[in-house]
C-alpha cells in the first residue's frame, strides 16, 4: 500500500463532486484493509471506506482523515456458489455469471459500483435484489479488527437497506460477498419495462438477451455510465420509493384524484400491509419533471429520479437542489422523500 495525501475524491465518484482526502490508500487484500484500519485508529484519523463511488455525495470540504478504497477483486466459483471480492466491478460479476448461464443477478446488469456496495444497500432493480442470492457477507469489524462471516439472515435485508446502512452503520467493512445463483435458470421477466421489451417475443429470453435488454433500458434512462453523456453524471436514483401504510396510501390516492383526475397513481404491495409508492410520480406531480432545474444542477432529461451534475456543480449545489425537491413533494403530498446516496462530511448527515 502507498499512503497518498490530498487526493481529489470527486473523480472517484459518479456524481463528480466533493473535496479531497487528506490521506488516501488503496487496499487490494484483506491484510491491507486491516493494516489501514489499524493505522487510522493509531493516528486517530477519521476513516472513510470507498467502493465504486456510485452512491455517494462527498462534501466540498472533502474528508479530513483517511479514505480507504477497497480494491479486493476476484471471483471464486464452487458449483453454484460465487465468492466475489468487495472491490470487484459489480457489472463485471454479472457479466461473468450470465456468460456461464447462471441466473439470479441478470436484472441487476449495468448498475455501477463494486460488489461490496451491493449488500449495504440491498441493491435491486427490475424485479431482483441481491438479498435473494446473497448467502453471506465477509466483513472486518472495525472496532475489534476481527474478520466475521455474516449469513443472509444476520444482514437484516429490507427495501434498499441492511444492518450495514442502518443499525450497524460504520461498524463493518465488507471484504467479500458470497452469492448462490441458479445454473440454467430462467431469466426473470416480471418488471413492466422488461415485459414491454419482450412483448411478442417467442419463448423465453436467454439470460444474455435479458441482460442486453436491461442495459438498453438503463441507457435510455441515463442509468448506464456512458462517456460523454451528461445525464450519467449522477448518483443514480437519488430518492427511495416511499413505503407507507395502506391508510396513508389511500389518503394520497384520494388527493391524486384531485390533482390528476382519472390518472392511475402507481402503487405496489410491499408486504406486511404496507404500500410502495412511486417517488418519480410524486415528483412529477409536484411540478418536478425530467430536465427540471437551471444552472449546474438539475434533473436528468431521461430519468426523473436522477439528480445530475451538468458541469461545475458543488456538493452544496446538490444538497440545496435535493432540499428543494423534498420540500416541493412534502408540500404537495405530505410525504417526506428519503435520499438513497450516502452523504459524507455533512453536518446534517
Are 330 and 257 in the same domain?
Answer: yes
Low-confidence residues of the chain: pLDDT under 50: 349
**Of the candidates 220, 238, 272, which is a domain's last residue?**
220
Note the pTM of the prediction, 2 decimals. 0.90
Number of domains in the chain: 3
- CA distances 19 to 7, 14, 40, 43, Å, are 9, 14, 20, 22
Does residue 340 carry a catalytic annotation?
Answer: yes
Contacts for 257 with CB less than 8 Å, ≥ 6 apart: none
CATH number at residue 129: 3.30.465.10
293 and 272, same domain (yes or no): yes
Same domain, 290 and 312: yes
Of these residues, 103, 136, 160, 267, which one is catalytic? 160
* Residue 313 cell numbers, joined: 456543480
| pLDDT number for residue 7 | 98
Q: What is the pLDDT of residue 221?
A: 87
What pLDDT does 149 receive?
A: 98
Q: What is the CATH number of the domain that holds 64?
A: 3.30.43.10
Same domain as 324, residue 264: yes
Residue 225 within any structural domain of the chain: no
Q: Which of 237, 267, 286, 300 is catalytic?
A: 237
pLDDT attached to residue 10: 97
Task: Report the pLDDT value the prediction gives residue 87, as an integer from 0 to 100.
Answer: 98
| Residue whose entry in the numeric block shows the C-alpha cell 412483448 | 199
Record the cell numbers describing residue 87, joined without a space: 472491490
**pLDDT > 70: percent of the chain:** 99
Query: Distance (Å, rounded) from C-alpha 134 to C-alpha 105?
Result: 10
Q: Is residue 84 part of a domain?
A: yes
245 a catalytic residue: no
Cα distances (Å, whole numbers) of residue 160 to 125, 165, 166, 241, 300: 10, 9, 10, 10, 22
Out of 174, 200, 220, a domain closes at 220
Same domain, yes or no: 202 and 118: yes
Is 237 assigned a catalytic role?
A: yes
Which range marks the domain in which residue 197 is found?
75-220
Amino acid at each position: 500500500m502507498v499512503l497518498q495525501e490530498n487526493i481529489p475524491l470527486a473523480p472517484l465518484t459518479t456524481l463528480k463532486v466533493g473535496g479531497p482526502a487528506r490521506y488516501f490508500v488503496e487496499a487490494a487484500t484483506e491484510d491491507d484493509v486491516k493494516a489501514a484500519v489499524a493505522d487510522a485508529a493509531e493516528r486517530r484519523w477519521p476513516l472513510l471506506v470507498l467502493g465504486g463511488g456510485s452512491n455517494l455525495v462527498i462534501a466540498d470540504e472533502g474528508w479530513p482523515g483517511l479514505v480507504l478504497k477497497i480494491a479486493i477483486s476476484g471471483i471464486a466459483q464452487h458449483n453454484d456458489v460465487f465468492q466475489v471480492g468487495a472491490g470487484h466491478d459489480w457489472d463485471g460479476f454479472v457479466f461473468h455469471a450470465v456468460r456461464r448461464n447462471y441466473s439470479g443477478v441478470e436484472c441487476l446488469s449495468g448498475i455501477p459500483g463494486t460488489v461490496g456496495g451491493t449488500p449495504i444497500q440491498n441493491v435491486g432493480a427490475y424485479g431482483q435484489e441481491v438479498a435473494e442470492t446473497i448467502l453471506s457477507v465477509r466483513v472486518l469489524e472495525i472496532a475489534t479488527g476481527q474478520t466475521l462471516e455474516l449469513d443472509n439472515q444476520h444482514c437484516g435485508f429490507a427495501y434498499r437497506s441492511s444492518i450495514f446502512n442502518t443499525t450497524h452503520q460504520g461498524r463493518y467493512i465488507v471484504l467479500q460477498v458470497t452469492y448462490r445463483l441458479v445454473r440454467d435458470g430462467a431469466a426473470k421477466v416480471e418488471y413492466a419495462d422488461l415485459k414491454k421489451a419482450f412483448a411478442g417475443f417467442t419463448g423465453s429470453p436467454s439470460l444474455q438477451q435479458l441482460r442486453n435488454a436491461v442495459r438498453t433500458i438503463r441507457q435510455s434512462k441515463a442509468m448506464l455510465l456512458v462517456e460523454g453523456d451528461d445525464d450519467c453524471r449522477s448518483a443514480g436514483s437519488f430518492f427511495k420509493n416511499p413505503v407507507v401504510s395502506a391508510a396513508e396510501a389511500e389518503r394520497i390516492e384520494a388527493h391524486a384524484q384531485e390533482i390528476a383526475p382519472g390518472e392511475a397513481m402507481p402503487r405496489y404491495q410491499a408486504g406486511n400491509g404496507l404500500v410502495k409508492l412511486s417517488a418519480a410520480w410524486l415528483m412529477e406531480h409536484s411540478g418536478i419533471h425530467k430536465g427540471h432545474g437551471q444552472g449546474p444542477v438539475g434533473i436528468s432529461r431521461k430519468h426523473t429520479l436522477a439528480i445530475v451534475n451538468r458541469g461545475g456543480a458543488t456538493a452544496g449545489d446538490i444538497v440545496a437542489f435535493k432540499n428543494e425537491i423534498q420540500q416541493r413533494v412534502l408540500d404537495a403530498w405530505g410525504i417526506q422523500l428519503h435520499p438513497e446516496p450516502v452523504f459524507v462530511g455533512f453536518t446534517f448527515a
